[in-house]
Chains A and B, each alone.
Chain A
């Protein structure tokens, strides 16, 4: 999961939990204090009417106007009630509503046991908190007192409504706060992470062939600045060691050229200008062959050192067909009996390229095929929509599938294959790949063990006009007319 989403979710969940806890406690505290208020009100009202400080009528007048009350005589004088049913058959003395009726038997039992009860009842759709107490009503003139139940009811609808409203408000507040906070984290993390992102992107653009690029260092002076600085420092050192290695390869190859030239020159002199004996001839030929191989290796190493230095080839319009024909003529005498064929429809397929470099590409591929034991090598060129396809097909030993992905690596050798595969230096195919890439193309290989291989080089087409001219059929017609017109113009 992306860091930004993670941050938002974690912080969002955290704030949601905290807000919810706060909301729940606010709700319950409010509920408790509201209920306590109602209970106090009822208690003081009851105290008024049972306290004996004033008459019942006076006490009742002090009750809140929206309250209910019911005073019942229960039982005979001086004989308090002992059962719930005794309470139920009590006679109302003062009342503006029937509060006893809705009270449950349980509540009434508690009233009998404790002398006091608090309960909430539903009376005609109204929720009422009822407080009841057992006591006596004294009649001083008759000098007796009657056991009585005093019930006071205070509507709590208002409180329930208030609590419901509070609940809704709290939920909305929590959700809104969560959303605002999450959005804030989302936006803020974007701001923080965007500089990290730009560092990542820039680092992604640094490649093996271009180590000169550097990561932008944000001026924020934070951890990301540190990261960018240390990446750049690492790149400095990487480039330095890469450059050292490249220069070493280049220098070493240059230095080797002189002795290699001297050895090759002298052995060639001995072979051509003197008359060595049979044994000497064999020995001299070994020296010549090995010096040629060394010369090839030195040149290949230089070529790759140039590749590493970001050297680019100079492209110009050129004819790929002639390159292939030239390679065929050059290789044929040294092909160890292999048949080299060229297959094209036309004498001209133009690409943007460096003729010498593309010749090296084709030469390396053909030599590779011959070294793989091919008896027949076919080079074919086909023009496709936006590209030119050059194939070098051989019926040689083929390549084991495990080796295919590594084939274009430097000094890679197929296990068990003869060491002379490629052009002998182990660098031939690496050079092929580099040169083809320099031409904006690609190279790939398909192979079946024991049947042969096809190396395919795809190069971008030179331009559309040339391609149209080379579409088979159409080109023949157009050019046929042109030549015919030219010919008749001359003879006429």
Chain B
């Protein structure tokens, strides 16, 4: 019989830890709760959970430091919770090794969806998932990861990437793309080129090129075949 996924909750606010715990148990996960960073870290080492939900602002050892120490030895997904939502804080959190980021007050459905997505990512046997190189698309959860990092896409960006990812190596011309992703409009814009630009900006900041231009034809999604690509 398959083992239930084990989730470690590190959160100094007991009332918040409590309902996250209740919800995760109701979703049929095993949980461990700790109320500070030091205990959290030792419980992580002791139990080796499948996923960590980590509060950022905690006394003694804060969430950033806990994330950094976990990352030294493990690839376990970390979802950070925080009351601060400025861009800087997000960047710092993600740089410390967190895989995802939720700002309080968050909806519990959102957290549960992220937990599911990250657990699926570490467990490749789950269906509804497309992988090309280090790109992982979770079609049910409508989530995209590149190299383990969750990437936020708009609805149309996701649809466009999904079209490519379901047909890796297939070259699409602009007309086909427009018909599939923007069926309600009848051409007459460079929307495809612009959206390929948006996707590249988000997906290819780190890591190689994924969406390649085939001059005079269209676009194709495939693993970077090295230099010499247009």
Contact = CB atoms under 8 A, between A and B. Distances in A.
Looking at B85, B174, B189, the one whose CB has the most chain A CB atoms below 10 A away is B189
A133 interface: no
A301 to B, nearest CB: 13
B224 interface: no
A210 interface: no
Given A482-B174, A483-B173, A483-B187, A348 B87 contact: no
B189 A347 contact: yes
A401 interface: no
Interface stretch (B18-26, B29-37, B92-100): B18-26
Contacts of A319: 154, 156, 191, 194-195, 198
B155 A326 contact: yes
Contact of A257 (B83, B109, B184): B83
A485 B105 contact: no
Interface string A355-371: 10000000000000000
Contact of B190 (A261, A326, A348): A348
B217 interface: yes
B104 interface: yes
A363 to B, nearest CB: 14
B207 interface: no
Nearest to B182: A347
Nearest to A483: B175
Contacts of B108: 264-265, 268-269
Contacts of A326: 154-155
Interface in B177-222: 178, 182, 184-185, 187-191, 194-195, 197-198, 201, 216-218
Contact of A489 (B23, B176, B216): B216
A451 B193 CA distance: 42
B15 interface: yes
B171 interface: yes
Given A258-B13, A295-B105, A347-B182, A475 B175 contact: no
A265 B22 CA distance: 10
B157 to A, nearest CB: 8
A485 B187 contact: no
Interface in A456-492: 466, 469-470, 472, 475-476, 479-480, 482-487, 489-490
5 pairs of A and B residues whose beta carbons are closest in the complex: A265-B19, A262-B15, A476-B188, A348-B191, A486-B173
7 contacts: A262-B19, A319-B156, A322-B155, A346-B188, A347-B178, A479-B188, A490-B218
Interface of A: 254, 257-262, 264-266, 268-269, 273, 291, 295, 298-299, 302, 306, 311, 314, 316-319, 322, 325-326, 329, 345-348, 350, 355, 466, 469-470, 472, 475-476, 479-480, 482-487, 489-490
